[in-house]
Amino acid sequence: MKKLIYTFFTIALLAIGIGVLYVFFINPSATSTTHKSIKKANSVPTKKKVTTNKETTPAVDTNILLVNKDHPLGANYIPQNLVVPKVKFISTGDPNVREMNSTAAAALENMFAAAKQDGFTLLAVSGYRSYKYQTQVYNAKVRKDGKASASEYVAIPGESEHQTGLAMDLLSTEYTELDDGFAKTKSYGWLEANCAKYGFIIRYLKGKENITKYNFEPWHVRYVGVTAAETIMEKGITLEEYLGKTN
Ligand SMILES: [Zn+2]
């Protein structure tokens, strides 16, 4: 009996030894960085989803929060689960407006990491703004540029997507001004081509000012989830058009 047990352990030890040898010496790729496997895991399902969308048009997700001049939020609306996304922020930004809803924040982190892998360092500028904060921003802009000009770029309190906790203004190390010069950068090209994979859309498009009631804002992304984002970005439409709520 004892002999049998010894034989068994010897075989087991040999098997483990061979396994270790295989992993470290014969097939080193088995221990290579988890980077590759993460990238694979991320990119494969995303590609599959794109194909699925083309074959069958997914139902419109009507749970998506629409905030604009016709659909304002109340002064007391505060989003759930606000966190500061673990991404690089622009040094000149206001540290009080870094939060996002946790789901959107996680998606933003993934998008920034993917951009970095492709050679673009995105910089977050401004996320969640409370009703009170928006009131301050709006009033300051009105004092500077007058009421008509101010409302083209700065939302009237309650009408700002930044109050949803689902929007982020962002730039890149390539271009650090919040103006439409950002649209001419390679970083913006990357953003436009890839944001939908992470559930984001460019919210205020060029040529859609009559629908969004905002000038083109290449720096403003909005989280809507991957399915809606892919449809919206692929068709080049606005959130209003996607939801069938154009006034
Ligand atoms: Zn914005």
In DSSP notation, 1-31 reads -HHHHHHHHHHHHHHHHHHHHIIIII-GGGG
User: If you measure from the C-alpha of residue 168 to the centroid of ligand 1, how many angstroms do you get, rounded to a whole number?
Assistant: 6
Tens digits of pLDDT across the chain (247 residues): 555 555 555 545 545 444 444 444 444 444 343 343 333 333 333 444 444 444 455 677 778 999 999 999 999 999 999 999 999 999 999 999 999 999 999 999 999 999 999 999 999 999 999 999 999 989 999 999 998 888 777 889 999 999 999 999 999 999 999 999 999 999 999 999 999 999 999 999 999 999 999 899 999 999 999 999 999 999 999 999 999 999 7
User: If you measure from the C-alpha of residue 37 to the centroid of ligand 1, how many angstroms do you get, rounded to a whole number?
Assistant: 34
Dihedral angle sign, alpha carbons of residues 162, 78, 103, 133 = positive
User: If you measure from the C-alpha of residue 222 to the centroid of ligand 1, how many angstroms do you get, rounded to a whole number?
Assistant: 9
User: If you measure from the C-alpha of residue 91 to the centroid of ligand 1, how many angstroms do you get, rounded to a whole number?
Assistant: 17
User: If you measure from the C-alpha of residue 115 to the centroid of ligand 1, how many angstroms do you get, rounded to a whole number?
Assistant: 20
Angle CA 72–102–168, to nearest 5: 55
Residue 246: CB atoms within 10 A of its CB come to 14
Whole-angstrom Cα distance, residue 42 to residue 24? 26
User: If you measure from the C-alpha of residue 4 to the centroid of ligand 1, how many angstroms do you get, rounded to a whole number?
Assistant: 73
User: If you measure from the C-alpha of residue 218 to the centroid of ligand 1, how many angstroms do you get, rounded to a whole number?
Assistant: 9
Which H or E element spans position 152?
helix 147-153
Whole-angstrom Cα distance, residue 6 to residue 12? 10
pTM: 0.74
Rounded to whole angstroms, what are the CA distances from 130 to 2, 43, 50, 78, 199? Answer: 74, 35, 35, 7, 23
Q: Cα(first)–Cα(last) distance of the chain, in Å?
A: 86
In DSSP notation, 29-55 reads GGGS-HHHHHHHHHHHHHHHHHHHHHH
Maximal C-alpha separation, the chain? 95
